[in-house]
Amino acid sequence: MIYVETIYETGSKSVAAYDSEAEARRAIEAHHEKAISGEPGGPAGSYPAERVKSALIYDEHPATLNESGLLPVEEVKTQLNDLIEKLSMGGQISNMELAAAVRGLSDPHIMPNDDESAEEFAKRLRQGSQYVAQETGELTGSWNGGGENA
Amino acid sequence: MHKHHEYTPEIPGHVEFNAVIVFQRYSQLGTDYILGNSGSITPPSSWTVGLSTTAVSSMARNSVWSATVSGTNVNEIGSTTAAGYARQTIARTIAQAGIDWQASTFDNTLSTGGQSQTADQVTFGAFSGAPNPNGANSFEITDGTTLNAGQLYMAGDTAATRTFANGDTEKVTPTVKVG
Protein backbone atom coordinates (compact mmCIF):
# COMPACT_ATOMS: atom_id res chain seq x y z
CA MET A 1 0.00 0.00 0.00
CA ILE A 2 1.17 3.55 -0.64
CA TYR A 3 -0.04 6.85 0.72
CA VAL A 4 -0.46 9.93 -1.43
CA GLU A 5 -0.78 13.47 -0.12
CA THR A 6 -2.74 15.43 -2.70
CA ILE A 7 -2.17 19.17 -2.66
CA TYR A 8 -4.97 21.09 -4.32
CA GLU A 9 -4.68 24.51 -5.95
CA THR A 10 -7.01 25.88 -3.28
CA GLY A 11 -4.47 24.96 -0.60
CA SER A 12 -6.51 22.00 0.66
CA LYS A 13 -4.64 18.79 1.26
CA SER A 14 -5.66 15.18 1.77
CA VAL A 15 -3.92 11.88 2.42
CA ALA A 16 -5.21 8.77 0.70
CA ALA A 17 -4.25 5.09 0.73
CA TYR A 18 -3.94 3.19 -2.53
CA ASP A 19 -2.69 -0.24 -3.58
CA SER A 20 -0.63 1.20 -6.42
CA GLU A 21 0.45 4.36 -8.17
CA ALA A 22 -1.87 3.47 -11.06
CA GLU A 23 -4.84 3.39 -8.70
CA ALA A 24 -3.79 6.69 -7.16
CA ARG A 25 -3.41 8.30 -10.57
CA ARG A 26 -6.87 7.08 -11.62
CA ALA A 27 -8.51 8.56 -8.53
CA ILE A 28 -6.71 11.88 -8.57
CA GLU A 29 -7.17 12.35 -12.32
CA ALA A 30 -10.89 11.66 -11.91
CA HIS A 31 -11.16 14.36 -9.25
CA HIS A 32 -9.07 16.80 -11.28
CA GLU A 33 -11.38 16.22 -14.27
CA LYS A 34 -14.40 16.96 -12.07
CA ALA A 35 -12.79 20.27 -11.14
CA ILE A 36 -12.11 21.17 -14.75
CA SER A 37 -15.73 20.37 -15.58
CA GLY A 38 -17.05 22.39 -12.65
CA GLU A 39 -18.61 19.37 -10.98
CA PRO A 40 -19.18 18.85 -7.26
CA GLY A 41 -16.31 17.29 -5.33
CA GLY A 42 -18.18 14.53 -3.59
CA PRO A 43 -21.51 12.85 -2.85
CA ALA A 44 -22.66 15.75 -0.64
CA GLY A 45 -22.68 17.97 -3.72
CA SER A 46 -22.23 21.03 -1.52
CA TYR A 47 -18.71 21.99 -2.53
CA PRO A 48 -16.92 22.11 -5.88
CA ALA A 49 -14.16 19.72 -6.93
CA GLU A 50 -10.67 21.24 -6.67
CA ARG A 51 -7.91 21.25 -9.25
CA VAL A 52 -4.86 19.28 -8.23
CA LYS A 53 -1.48 20.96 -7.87
CA SER A 54 0.69 18.01 -6.91
CA ALA A 55 0.58 14.56 -5.37
CA LEU A 56 3.36 13.31 -3.07
CA ILE A 57 4.00 9.61 -2.46
CA TYR A 58 4.84 8.07 0.93
CA ASP A 59 5.51 4.48 2.01
CA GLU A 60 3.59 5.09 5.23
CA HIS A 61 0.91 7.56 6.28
CA PRO A 62 3.02 10.71 6.92
CA ALA A 63 1.28 11.19 10.26
CA THR A 64 2.87 8.01 11.61
CA LEU A 65 6.11 9.93 12.15
CA ASN A 66 6.69 9.91 15.90
CA GLU A 67 3.13 8.61 16.37
CA SER A 68 4.09 6.66 19.47
CA GLY A 69 5.53 9.78 21.07
CA LEU A 70 8.82 7.95 21.56
CA LEU A 71 11.86 9.90 20.37
CA PRO A 72 15.60 9.16 20.40
CA VAL A 73 17.15 10.40 23.64
CA GLU A 74 20.00 12.30 21.98
CA GLU A 75 17.58 14.07 19.67
CA VAL A 76 15.42 15.15 22.60
CA LYS A 77 18.48 16.39 24.51
CA THR A 78 19.52 18.55 21.56
CA GLN A 79 16.07 19.94 20.93
CA LEU A 80 15.48 20.50 24.63
CA ASN A 81 18.58 22.66 24.86
CA ASP A 82 17.40 24.64 21.84
CA LEU A 83 13.97 25.10 23.38
CA ILE A 84 15.37 26.25 26.72
CA GLU A 85 17.54 28.79 24.95
CA LYS A 86 14.62 29.99 22.87
CA LEU A 87 12.09 30.26 25.70
CA SER A 88 14.21 31.59 28.51
CA MET A 89 14.18 35.27 29.37
CA GLY A 90 16.11 37.05 32.06
CA GLY A 91 17.49 33.79 33.39
CA GLN A 92 14.02 32.27 33.87
CA ILE A 93 11.77 30.01 31.86
CA SER A 94 8.10 29.13 32.02
CA ASN A 95 7.91 25.39 32.68
CA MET A 96 4.39 25.34 31.23
CA GLU A 97 5.57 26.84 27.94
CA LEU A 98 8.50 24.45 27.93
CA ALA A 99 6.21 21.46 28.57
CA ALA A 100 3.96 22.49 25.68
CA ALA A 101 6.95 22.91 23.38
CA VAL A 102 8.36 19.51 24.39
CA ARG A 103 5.00 17.86 23.62
CA GLY A 104 5.21 19.44 20.17
CA LEU A 105 8.47 17.63 19.39
CA SER A 106 6.52 14.58 18.23
CA ASP A 107 4.14 16.57 16.03
CA PRO A 108 4.22 15.17 12.46
CA HIS A 109 3.25 18.55 10.94
CA ILE A 110 5.67 21.20 9.78
CA MET A 111 5.86 24.35 11.89
CA PRO A 112 7.07 27.88 11.12
CA ASN A 113 10.82 28.40 11.16
CA ASP A 114 12.10 30.87 13.75
CA ASP A 115 12.96 33.46 11.11
CA GLU A 116 9.80 32.94 9.05
CA SER A 117 6.86 35.31 9.11
CA ALA A 118 3.31 34.03 9.30
CA GLU A 119 2.74 35.04 5.68
CA GLU A 120 5.89 33.26 4.49
CA PHE A 121 4.92 30.10 6.35
CA ALA A 122 1.38 30.24 4.97
CA LYS A 123 2.78 30.52 1.45
CA ARG A 124 5.22 27.63 2.01
CA LEU A 125 2.43 25.52 3.43
CA ARG A 126 0.04 26.33 0.63
CA GLN A 127 2.53 25.20 -2.01
CA GLY A 128 3.86 22.08 -0.36
CA SER A 129 3.31 19.26 2.09
CA GLN A 130 1.99 19.85 5.58
CA TYR A 131 4.10 17.00 6.99
CA VAL A 132 7.65 16.61 8.29
CA ALA A 133 7.97 13.10 6.79
CA GLN A 134 9.91 13.04 3.54
CA GLU A 135 8.00 11.84 0.51
CA THR A 136 9.50 9.05 -1.59
CA GLY A 137 8.47 10.63 -4.86
CA GLU A 138 5.91 12.66 -6.74
CA LEU A 139 3.09 11.18 -8.75
CA THR A 140 2.60 12.35 -12.33
CA GLY A 141 -0.76 12.55 -13.98
CA SER A 142 -3.01 14.70 -16.12
CA TRP A 143 -2.88 17.48 -13.52
CA ASN A 144 0.82 18.13 -14.11
CA GLY A 145 1.02 17.19 -17.77
CA GLY A 146 2.33 13.72 -17.01
CA GLY A 147 1.05 10.20 -17.26
CA GLU A 148 2.50 7.00 -15.85
CA ASN A 149 5.64 7.55 -13.79
CA ALA A 150 8.85 6.46 -15.53
CA MET B 1 -19.00 20.31 35.30
CA HIS B 2 -20.97 19.30 32.24
CA LYS B 3 -19.27 18.80 28.92
CA HIS B 4 -21.02 18.61 25.56
CA HIS B 5 -20.16 19.43 22.02
CA GLU B 6 -21.83 20.19 18.72
CA TYR B 7 -20.87 19.52 15.15
CA THR B 8 -21.19 22.27 12.61
CA PRO B 9 -20.57 20.90 9.09
CA GLU B 10 -19.26 22.92 6.14
CA ILE B 11 -22.51 23.86 4.41
CA PRO B 12 -22.40 27.46 3.13
CA GLY B 13 -25.10 29.69 4.53
CA HIS B 14 -26.69 26.88 6.49
CA VAL B 15 -25.96 25.26 9.84
CA GLU B 16 -27.14 21.82 10.87
CA PHE B 17 -26.94 20.31 14.30
CA ASN B 18 -26.53 16.55 14.10
CA ALA B 19 -26.28 14.00 16.88
CA VAL B 20 -22.93 14.04 18.66
CA ILE B 21 -21.18 12.10 21.40
CA VAL B 22 -18.15 12.58 23.64
CA PHE B 23 -16.33 9.36 24.44
CA GLN B 24 -14.85 8.34 27.76
CA ARG B 25 -11.26 9.13 26.75
CA TYR B 26 -11.98 12.78 26.09
CA SER B 27 -13.76 13.13 29.43
CA GLN B 28 -10.83 11.40 31.08
CA LEU B 29 -8.47 14.00 29.63
CA GLY B 30 -10.51 16.60 31.45
CA THR B 31 -10.09 14.79 34.77
CA ASP B 32 -6.83 12.86 34.76
CA TYR B 33 -4.81 15.09 32.41
CA ILE B 34 -6.04 18.60 33.12
CA LEU B 35 -6.83 18.19 36.80
CA GLY B 36 -4.36 15.44 37.64
CA ASN B 37 -1.42 16.07 35.27
CA SER B 38 -1.42 12.41 34.23
CA GLY B 39 1.57 11.27 32.21
CA SER B 40 -0.30 8.33 30.68
CA ILE B 41 -3.73 9.76 29.92
CA THR B 42 -2.50 12.40 27.49
CA PRO B 43 -3.62 13.92 24.19
CA PRO B 44 -2.08 12.34 21.09
CA SER B 45 0.79 13.86 19.12
CA SER B 46 -1.76 14.71 16.46
CA TRP B 47 -5.52 14.38 16.23
CA THR B 48 -6.83 12.32 13.36
CA VAL B 49 -10.27 12.34 11.78
CA GLY B 50 -11.95 9.18 10.56
CA LEU B 51 -15.23 8.22 8.95
CA SER B 52 -17.41 5.32 10.02
CA THR B 53 -20.54 3.56 8.90
CA THR B 54 -21.88 3.70 12.47
CA ALA B 55 -24.42 6.37 13.40
CA VAL B 56 -24.05 8.18 16.73
CA SER B 57 -27.37 6.68 17.87
CA SER B 58 -25.69 3.26 17.92
CA MET B 59 -22.69 4.41 19.94
CA ALA B 60 -21.99 4.55 23.68
CA ARG B 61 -19.53 6.58 25.74
CA ASN B 62 -17.29 3.51 25.95
CA SER B 63 -17.53 2.55 22.27
CA VAL B 64 -14.37 1.29 20.61
CA TRP B 65 -13.17 1.08 17.05
CA SER B 66 -13.72 -2.41 15.64
CA ALA B 67 -14.09 -4.17 12.31
CA THR B 68 -16.75 -6.33 14.02
CA VAL B 69 -20.25 -5.02 13.49
CA SER B 70 -21.66 -5.60 16.93
CA GLY B 71 -23.20 -3.67 19.79
CA THR B 72 -21.80 -0.19 20.16
CA ASN B 73 -18.65 -0.83 18.08
CA VAL B 74 -17.63 1.95 15.71
CA ASN B 75 -16.82 0.52 12.26
CA GLU B 76 -14.50 2.51 10.06
CA ILE B 77 -15.08 2.73 6.31
CA GLY B 78 -12.41 1.39 3.95
CA SER B 79 -11.03 -1.19 6.39
CA THR B 80 -11.34 -4.09 3.92
CA THR B 81 -10.74 -2.12 0.72
CA ALA B 82 -9.36 1.39 1.20
CA ALA B 83 -9.98 2.68 -2.34
CA GLY B 84 -8.28 5.89 -1.24
CA TYR B 85 -9.66 6.15 2.29
CA ALA B 86 -7.21 7.18 5.00
CA ARG B 87 -7.53 9.19 8.19
CA GLN B 88 -6.79 12.90 8.00
CA THR B 89 -4.90 14.91 10.62
CA ILE B 90 -5.55 18.04 12.64
CA ALA B 91 -2.41 19.42 14.28
CA ARG B 92 -2.40 20.14 18.02
CA THR B 93 -1.77 23.83 17.51
CA ILE B 94 -3.92 26.94 17.30
CA ALA B 95 -3.81 28.94 14.06
CA GLN B 96 -0.22 27.89 13.51
CA ALA B 97 0.19 24.75 11.39
CA GLY B 98 -1.63 24.00 8.15
CA ILE B 99 -4.70 22.15 9.32
CA ASP B 100 -5.13 22.85 13.01
CA TRP B 101 -7.54 24.57 15.37
CA GLN B 102 -8.76 28.12 14.95
CA ALA B 103 -8.80 30.52 17.89
CA SER B 104 -11.54 29.51 20.33
CA THR B 105 -14.54 31.71 21.08
CA PHE B 106 -16.63 32.12 24.20
CA ASP B 107 -20.39 32.03 24.65
CA ASN B 108 -21.43 33.38 28.05
CA THR B 109 -25.01 32.06 27.82
CA LEU B 110 -25.62 30.39 31.17
CA SER B 111 -27.58 27.38 29.99
CA THR B 112 -26.04 26.60 26.61
CA GLY B 113 -22.74 28.51 26.54
CA GLY B 114 -19.12 27.45 26.67
CA GLN B 115 -15.84 27.67 24.80
CA SER B 116 -15.98 26.63 21.13
CA GLN B 117 -13.19 25.75 18.78
CA THR B 118 -13.43 24.94 15.10
CA ALA B 119 -10.80 23.00 13.21
CA ASP B 120 -9.68 23.88 9.73
CA GLN B 121 -11.51 21.80 7.17
CA VAL B 122 -10.09 18.34 6.45
CA THR B 123 -10.43 16.61 3.09
CA PHE B 124 -10.74 12.88 2.50
CA GLY B 125 -9.88 11.26 -0.84
CA ALA B 126 -9.66 11.25 -3.69
CA PHE B 127 -11.42 7.89 -3.67
CA SER B 128 -10.49 5.46 -6.46
CA GLY B 129 -13.82 3.67 -6.26
CA ALA B 130 -16.11 2.36 -3.55
CA PRO B 131 -14.27 1.68 -0.29
CA ASN B 132 -15.37 -1.37 1.65
CA PRO B 133 -17.16 -0.78 3.94
CA ASN B 134 -18.72 2.24 2.21
CA GLY B 135 -21.41 4.62 3.40
CA ALA B 136 -20.13 7.05 6.03
CA ASN B 137 -22.70 8.01 8.65
CA SER B 138 -20.42 9.74 11.13
CA PHE B 139 -17.00 11.31 11.56
CA GLU B 140 -14.74 10.67 14.55
CA ILE B 141 -11.99 12.66 16.27
CA THR B 142 -9.50 9.92 17.10
CA ASP B 143 -5.78 9.23 17.11
CA GLY B 144 -3.35 7.15 15.08
CA THR B 145 -3.58 6.21 11.43
CA THR B 146 -4.39 2.49 11.69
CA LEU B 147 -8.00 1.84 10.72
CA ASN B 148 -10.39 0.54 13.38
CA ALA B 149 -7.79 1.27 16.03
CA GLY B 150 -6.83 4.04 18.43
CA GLN B 151 -8.74 6.02 21.01
CA LEU B 152 -12.11 7.56 20.24
CA TYR B 153 -12.58 11.09 21.54
CA MET B 154 -15.68 12.55 19.85
CA ALA B 155 -18.05 11.73 17.02
CA GLY B 156 -20.79 13.44 15.09
CA ASP B 157 -23.28 12.27 12.49
CA THR B 158 -22.82 13.36 8.91
CA ALA B 159 -25.78 15.24 7.44
CA ALA B 160 -26.57 12.19 5.31
CA THR B 161 -24.94 8.86 4.43
CA ARG B 162 -21.92 9.48 2.21
CA THR B 163 -21.42 6.74 -0.40
CA PHE B 164 -18.12 7.29 -2.19
CA ALA B 165 -17.11 6.55 -5.78
CA ASN B 166 -14.14 7.15 -8.08
CA GLY B 167 -12.90 10.73 -7.97
CA ASP B 168 -14.90 11.76 -4.87
CA THR B 169 -13.55 13.75 -1.97
CA GLU B 170 -15.28 14.50 1.33
CA LYS B 171 -14.88 17.52 3.58
CA VAL B 172 -15.39 17.69 7.34
CA THR B 173 -15.12 20.78 9.56
CA PRO B 174 -15.36 19.74 13.24
CA THR B 175 -16.45 22.23 15.88
CA VAL B 176 -16.05 21.37 19.54
CA LYS B 177 -17.89 23.17 22.32
CA VAL B 178 -16.97 22.63 25.93
CA GLY B 179 -19.29 24.04 28.51
On whether the CB atoms of residues B136 and B53 are closer than 8 A, the answer is: yes
Residues of chain B neighbouring A107 (CB-CB closer than 8 A): 45-46, 91-93, 97
Measured between alpha carbons, how far is B23 from B52 in angstroms, rounded to an integer?
15
- B20-22/A52-58 β-pairing: unpaired
Measured in residues, chain A has a length of 150
**Within 13 Å, how many C-alpha atoms sit on residue B57's CB side?**
3
Q: How far apart are CA B74 and CA B93, in angstroms?
A: 27
Give pLDDT tens digits for B10-69.
333 334 457 899 999 999 999 999 999 999 999 998 999 999 999 999 999 999 999 999
Chain A residues with beta carbon closer than 8 angstroms to that of B48: 63
Counting other chains too, the contacts that B36-44 makes at CB distance below 8 Å and 24 or more residues apart are B43/A103, B43/B92, B44/A69, B44/B92, B44/B143, B44/B144, B44/B150, B44/B151
**Residue-wise burial string across A116-146, b where 16 or more C-beta atoms lie within 10 A, e elsewhere:** eeeeebeeebbebbbbebebeeebbbebeee
Tens of pLDDT, residues A25-63: 999 999 999 999 999 999 988 899 999 999 999 999 999
Q: Which residue of A has its CA nearest to B79?
A: A17
> ipTM of this predicted complex?
0.91
Q: Are strands B152-162 and B20-22 parallel, antiparallel or unpaired?
A: antiparallel
> What does pTM read for this prediction?
0.90
**Biggest alpha carbon–alpha carbon distance for chain A:** 61
Segment holding A27, helix H or strand E: helix A21-36
- Find the residue in B nearest to A61 (Cα): B145
Find the CB nearest B144 among A31, A67, A107.
Answer: A67
The pLDDT tens digits of the residues spanning A68-92 come to: 888 889 989 999 999 999 999 999 9
Asked if the bond preceding A27 is cis, omega within 30° of 0, the reply is: no
Distance (Å, whole) CA A134 – CA B98:
17
